[in-house]
Amino acid sequence: MNICVFCSSSNNLDDIYLDAAAALGRAIARHGHTLVFGGYDMGLMGASARAAVEAGGRVIGITTEGLSAKGRAVVAGIEEECTTDLSARKKRMVELSDAFVTLPGGLGTFDEFFSVISRVKAGELNAPSALLDVDGFFKPLAALLDDAYARGLNSSNWRAACEIFDDAEALVAWIENAR
């Protein structure tokens, strides 16, 4: 199975986030799945991909012409596909993937998460989606989305399309059972 990982590309991160990303990469590889990610050797993206490669896993990195032109390095040992821009990259990552995991991140990560979860909710994607909640990072987001549902602002409960985990092994096992 191809499991897409959305996460931060920032290099200015506490080790707790890097360790969680590496644990996810190792878990995906140990279970015999392919990790699909944004291609570059930075932040949580790089940590998860390097760990998967080191554990003997297959990793597909989707890069962009613009970011590559800025000199961004890719993770050694991956299969790289280069797209024209961020929109094309996200589209390709979704096309390749059977399941989605979102780790902590910023604007790009939130864009990817909301895009996928909205498509699952709309019935355009039939794919397990999960948040890997590192150090309570997603608690405020979950509270906001729960509140939007409780107020009737969202027509269905977002939790029907997404699970939250704090353990990478449990998350990967859930994905396997959800497929």
Q: Lowest mean pLDDT: which of 24-38, 58-72, 91-105?
A: 58-72
Helix, strand, coil shares, percent, the chain, to 5: 45, 20, 35
Name, in order, each residue with C-beta under 8 angstroms of 85's C-beta and a sequence gap of 6 or more: 64, 65, 66
**Per-residue pLDDT tens over the stretch 121-131:** 889 999 999 99
Residue-level pLDDT at 55: 97
Q: Assess contact for 171 and 101: CB atoms under 8 A.
A: yes
73, pLDDT greater than 90: no
Range 88-100 average pLDDT: 96
Residue-level pLDDT at 86: 92
179, pLDDT greater than 80: no
**Per-residue pLDDT tens over the stretch 31-66:** 999 999 999 999 999 999 999 999 999 999 999 999
The whole-model pTM stands at 0.94
Name, in order, each residue with C-beta under 8 angstroms of 168's C-beta and a sequence gap of 6 or more: 20, 23, 24, 26, 27, 132
What's the token pair of residue 81? 């596909």
